[in-house]
Copies of this chain bind each other. A is one copy, B any other.
Amino acid sequence: MEITRRNFKDCLSTVYSAIDEADFLAIDGEFSGISDGPNVSALTNGLDTPEERYTKLKKHSMDFLMFQFGLCTFKYDQTKSKYITKTFNFYIFPKPFNRTSPDIKFICQSSSIDFLASQGFDFNKVFCHGIPYLNQDEEACLREQTEERRNQHANGLGTPSFISPSSKTPANVPDEQKDFINKVVEKVELLFSADEKTLNLEPCTGFQRKLIYQMLSWKFPKGLHVETLETDKKERYIQISKVDDKERKKREQQKLEREQEELNDAVGFSRVIHAISKSGKLVVGHNMLLDVMHTIHQFYCSLPEDLQDFKEVTMCVFPRLLDTKLMASTQPFKELINNTSLAELEKQVKESPFKPPQVEAAEGFPSYDTAQEQLHEAGYDAYITGLCFISMANHLGSFLTPPKAYISAKSKLIEPFVNKLFLMRIIDIPYLNITGPDLQPKRDHVLYVTFPKEWKTSDLYQLFSAFGNIQVSWIDDTSAFVSLSQTDQVQIAMNTSRYAESYRIQTYAEYIQGKQQKEKLGQTTKSWGEDGWMKPHFSSSTTSAGFVYPRRKRSISPVQGDLGTEAAPVPDPWNNYSFPDDTVSKKIKFDELSGQANVDAVESKTSEGWLKITESSNSPDLSHVTDEKSPEGTDPDKCVDGTGTWHQTPTAPTRKGQKNKKKKTEATESTTSLFDVPEVW
């Protein structure tokens, strides 16, 4: 269902009830651009920390506009054994509410605009009929203004700050306005003796209107209703009506109601986000970090400086999030899915071992044909994101004994994937953990290299040719991180580079230290907070495991013990990267023998097609896992409202009645694990 400014108010109750009745929601946004840096690659570095990435996205992406918001609600119908969907496609535009409301500026990126144009995006719908919105500060400010105006009105005409005791007399009409004002007074006097009830004055300046209000309030304290209206040409004029006290009160009541309605209109699309937020329901998105950031930024508040604060705000707005891209690139899915882009994922989850999701559009809602792709329409993208979630969630049910065909959005089985947002193109941190501390990979195999700006990736490959496979993560024109495959080579590289003149090598630890010192010297207020980097607790208790979970608030059975020790971080990272196209050629691998080979530094400009991580490591095997009773479940033999209460076989030891208990099955953990999402197996 397409929703613009024209039908928004009429559709709002439909939207509300769809959210209310849904089991889960899927969302997607379309933006006027991705990155305002010189190119999208500059925005990301494969070894960004979550803090750095958040700061970059906040700085370089929030000036774009989310101008289309897709919402698809999914409600499970027990009798039909399928989901009933309602898809909404909202067009959004920050039309200034009135002349004092903020005049939003946003950036458009021509490649993004051109891409959307090629997909048939209707910009006129956005710019001509987009639904306005306000964030919470703007809304509060506007409500305050309205309240103030109302109080002023209750105390008499005009604005108190304009009215001094003396202004109640006509003395302060400037000489050159006296003629004008006198003529108005004459007209009003005629109105009293005339049949007409209403007099429209000619449009005039704000100053003149002020004088008119003052004069009429002084000269005719009763019997008149005076109001400023606008012509079609946006010229403001005064309308004067004869009224008795009852009529006057009625009119004022009407005006009050009108103001209230205008205010709600101005809050506009934000009301939908408020409803989603208040519902507390699972909100599914695909690669949704930017969607979440934009949603908060546009409809709630400016994004906080600090990542931790952002996480807290996010939890207030979206208490339960699930990112299908993160889910698809995590065990047990990552071995089944070799391309986690939304379009490809949607195709793959229709095929074995997945089961095609059973869905049906609700009456009155258009049904999408996934064979005819309508990608990059936010509503459609939200819809297929939901489909991907359903298939993947249900697939988890096949690991149960006996298998379950339907896994609800409230099932404990999906808990490991909740509130973890996919981090694009970070080599060793797959997700942003919204409800806890982020993963802190050891980066002691990483070197920080500075060099002349003429250097290309090939020069770095040549420089490190003795060290076997390396991985280059560009920082800027004259520096890059180089990851060696063996940590013990770091010292050799440092030693050999000691007398180099054209380049300089530091360990990652030295680099971070230097950066921190620079920040201290630069008096920047940014502090590397408790969740930050390179703190003393960094290496505490965790030997050489690939990851440590510092300040692990929620972890009951930490998985560090399962991590391999020898092969860390990755035996041969190169075999684990796919290069979907040459837009990432800067990071391409070369045979060590051909040091001269070089690659064009073509930069990626689209959000899809970015480097996709398909880790070689294994996560705990899911086979033989049984789902715990969901909190709502009461009778194991009955399926109640889709909350996931199932038959359980005696072969798998389960303890009924014990809630929120974590357990681990006999998974095969012979190799390193790049990351471990599960906390509840």
Contacts and interface: CB of A to CB of B under 8 A. Distances in A.
A161 interface: yes
Contact of A207 (B162, B209, B599): B599
A170 to B, nearest CB: 11
A205 B114 contact: no
Nearest to A33: B105
A368 interface: no
A128 to B, nearest CB: 4
Interface in A175-227: 175-176, 205-207, 209-210
Contacts of A605: 96, 99, 103
Contact of A166 (B164, B594, B602): B594
Given A127-B113, A583-B99, A105 B588 contact: no
A271 interface: no
Interface string A230-241: 000001100000
Interface string A91-119: 00111100110011111111101101100
Given A174-B591, A591-B174, A597-B172, A107 B110 contact: no
A164 to B, nearest CB: 4
B122 A95 contact: no
A612 to B, nearest CB: 13
A269 to B, nearest CB: 14
Copies of the protein in its oligomer: 2
B207 A582 contact: yes
A110 B122 contact: no
Contact of A596 (B164, B173, B583): B164
A597 B167 contact: yes
A581 interface: yes
Interface in A137-180: 159, 161-162, 164, 166-167, 171-176
Interface residues of A, number: 69
A63 to B, nearest CB: 8
Contact of A39 (B103, B166, B167, B174): B103
A598 interface: yes
B166 A205 contact: no
Nearest to A235: B581
Given A110-B93, A166-B596, A594-B171, A36 B585 contact: no
A172 B123 contact: no
A124 interface: yes
A114 B99 contact: no
Interface in A9-66: 32-33, 36, 39, 65
Contacts of A172: 591, 593-594, 596-597
Contacts of A344: none
Nearest to A456: B161
A602 B583 CA distance: 49
B174 A205 contact: no
Nearest to A606: B234
Contacts of A114: 93, 95-96, 127
A657 to B, nearest CB: 54
A77 interface: no
Contact of A124 (B123, B591, B598): B123
A579 interface: yes
Interface string A564-603: 0000000000010001111101001111011011111010
B597 A206 contact: no
A107 B109 contact: no
Contacts of A103: 39, 109-111, 605
A600 B206 contact: yes
A100 to B, nearest CB: 7
Nearest to A588: B207
A205 B162 CA distance: 70
Contacts of A39: 103
> Of residues A126, A171, A207, A599, which shows the largest number of chain B Cβ atoms within 10 Å of its Cβ?
A207
Given A106-B108, A205-B585, A582-B207, A175 B93 contact: no
Given A171-B593, A205-B588, 6 more contacts: A32-B108, A100-B602, A105-B110, A164-B597, A174-B590, A236-B581
Interface of A: 32-33, 36, 39, 65, 93-96, 99-100, 103-111, 113-114, 116-117, 122-124, 126-128, 159, 161-162, 164, 166-167, 171-176, 205-207, 209-210, 235-236, 575, 579-583, 585, 588-591, 593-594, 596-600, 602, 605
Closest 7 CB pairs of A and B: A206-B582, A172-B594, A174-B591, A164-B596, A123-B123, A117-B128, A104-B110
